Chains A and B, each alone.
Chain A
């Protein structure tokens, strides 16, 4: 699990690096990037959100050092549903496990799953949407009707159905499941972008110069998809982390004793009246993460696409 987290951190750094390289490319692009960064920086809520996300990520990455106890160790029979104290910051759960440590580790797992699943869903969404939009015609119609059908199923119902049929899910299959059910919206967005990009003069020019379809997609279509997709991905993380929590809350996500934000809340639910701290703290982390993703996504959209800015 730790290895997965570091892999995820590495992927994030590579992605950021690639983004920065793109941004620092000379020419008119660079100035636009600087404009985007500057516009993002002028939005206090977006900057705070980004800061909160970074803090959460670093805290969860440092879980082994910050945790005051072993997250799955049962401390003592007498320490069951113990209220928060100086020793036990967030109290203990019904089994006598330290909630603070569980929340730290749970955040790490939930964030990792959300990031990887979102990455998967974005790749799926781009591939599917770009194909449908670029090829067009009957294929486009069929592909989009399929997306319509999937969008008509509430995501959580779909997740429950698949989760029930294949329970218990491993973490890898959970990531795949969450990723494979999150791309429908992105693919629609990408298709719409591709449809408009396809009609631009640069594509006609490239075609006139004899460029092949694949080259056009790579050189002209995909780079221009970057902004809307980054925004969709940021907003998507919020959705995925909430859905993962819901699945674990229902008992078909991460199985006990491994902590995830959802299953800590699940553990606290039967004792809500007496041991409210078990369900409260992981929920606060969830809200902060999801709120920060939403704010950062809004900020990014306003920074990248001036047409969308609130008037």
Chain B
């Protein structure tokens, strides 16, 4: 187990190193440098020179690369030109919001996806199976930002049930007590989370359905059925338990999609997360912030994958022993 963890961590570090090298290459190849564009704001040349010196941009390329990796290792992600503060501070403010959105979306989409997959597998070939798969594929095919816009149109403009943007009711929030505040926050979460869940659950349901169907044909299921075990018990104890294992791996694999979806969904609903702050940095060509978001999302994915691997090892005694 410990060796498995060490191996995965090492692999994760290698992935991050490659991604860091890639972002360094991007920054180097891009026209100008992170401090050459500042829109209509005037920044004194001495300050720019100071920044360039701090981030080693006035030194030869190998030194720049070493400097870049060293500053990343220290957790220094550069200076954001659009927000005039270190990228690390921005991310500390915004990443938790993204994590909140993602955790909720991940949990809910797995709950919905697994339930749908089980239902489809048990009723395979029926109208319910066909319909459920059709609807899921429909949402899966939808561009996430457009689905978000349409949900906003229907449930915020036409039927003003849910708030359209932000994380809380800015005007009334100060007068709320704790419970009201929490309710208000949850109401703001509904539309973004729904978008992500609708988008994600199709793939999970499909995987779960296939996994269930793989197990259903195995001999021990037939044996259980021959012994007269009820279909419900078979589905729950024999099939689902075995079919849940592969889905843990899927959790790690869906993270990039979820994070990517979160970027656009955050933008549509003005949810102040990492995706939102990155998308709003596009216009100001904030090199440091944009490339840092590449690094941070990839780091989140790596951590998520390692967690999924460990969870799998914990859940499957065969892997644990190995």
Against A, the Cβ 8 Å flags (1 = close, 0 = not) of B286-313 are 1100110110011001100100000000
For residues 264 through 311 of chain A, which have their beta carbon under 8 Å from a beta carbon of chain B? 265, 269, 272-273, 276, 279-280, 283, 286-287, 290-291, 293-295, 310-311
B285's nearest neighbour on chain A, judged by CB, is A164
| B residues less than 8 Å from A283 (CB atoms) | 143, 146, 149-150
Measured CA separation A32–B209 after assembly (Å): 29
| B residues less than 8 Å from A273 (CB atoms) | 153, 157
A251 touches B282 (CB 8 A): yes
| A residues less than 8 Å from B278 (CB atoms) | 157, 160
Known: A161-B26, A280-B150. A152 touches B15 (CB 8 A): yes
Shortest Cβ distance from residue B314 to the other chain A in the assembled complex, whole angstroms: 22
| A residues less than 8 Å from B268 (CB atoms) | 269
Against A, the Cβ 8 Å flags (1 = close, 0 = not) of B26-55 are 110111000000000000000000000000
A153 touches B301 (CB 8 A): yes
Known: A149-B15, A295-B137. A156 touches B263 (CB 8 A): yes
Whether A202 is near chain B, meaning CB under 8 Å from some CB there, is no
A145 touches B15 (CB 8 A): yes
Known: A149-B15, A153-B256, A154-B257. A286 touches B146 (CB 8 A): yes
A287's nearest neighbour on chain B, judged by CB, is B142
| A160 interface neighbour in B140, B150, B279, B298, Cβ under 8 Å | B279
A290 touches B260 (CB 8 A): no
| A164 interface neighbour in B281, B298, B301, Cβ under 8 Å | B281
Known: A151-B256, A153-B294. A286 touches B143 (CB 8 A): yes
B18 touches A163 (CB 8 A): no
Measured CA separation A165–B282 after assembly (Å): 9
Known: A161-B291, A164-B282, A280-B150. A149 touches B22 (CB 8 A): yes
B297 touches A246 (CB 8 A): no
Whether A158 is near chain B, meaning CB under 8 Å from some CB there, is yes
Whether A116 is near chain B, meaning CB under 8 Å from some CB there, is no
Whether B235 is near chain A, meaning CB under 8 Å from some CB there, is no
Measured CA separation A65–B30 after assembly (Å): 41
Measured CA separation A156–B256 after assembly (Å): 9
Whether B259 is near chain A, meaning CB under 8 Å from some CB there, is yes
Measured CA separation A242–B26 after assembly (Å): 24
| B259 interface neighbour in A154, A161, A162, A269, Cβ under 8 Å | A154
Tier of interface size on chain B? 35 or more
Most chain B CB neighbours (cut-off 10 Å) among A279, A280, A295, A310: A310
Measured CA separation A28–B29 after assembly (Å): 52
Measured CA separation A294–B275 after assembly (Å): 27
| A residues less than 8 Å from B142 (CB atoms) | 286-287, 290
Measured CA separation A242–B140 after assembly (Å): 11
| B residues less than 8 Å from A153 (CB atoms) | 19, 256, 294, 297-298, 301
B283 touches A251 (CB 8 A): yes
For residues 214 through 241 of chain A, which have their beta carbon under 8 Å from a beta carbon of chain B? 238
Known: A149-B22, A161-B290. A155 touches B256 (CB 8 A): yes
| B residues less than 8 Å from A279 (CB atoms) | 146, 149-150, 153
| A residues less than 8 Å from B217 (CB atoms) | 311
Known: A250-B282, A251-B282, A283-B143. A157 touches B14 (CB 8 A): no
Whether B264 is near chain A, meaning CB under 8 Å from some CB there, is yes
Whether A245 is near chain B, meaning CB under 8 Å from some CB there, is yes
| B residues less than 8 Å from A272 (CB atoms) | 149, 152-153, 157
A268's nearest neighbour on chain B, judged by CB, is B149
| A246 interface neighbour in B140, B210, B257, B264, Cβ under 8 Å | B264
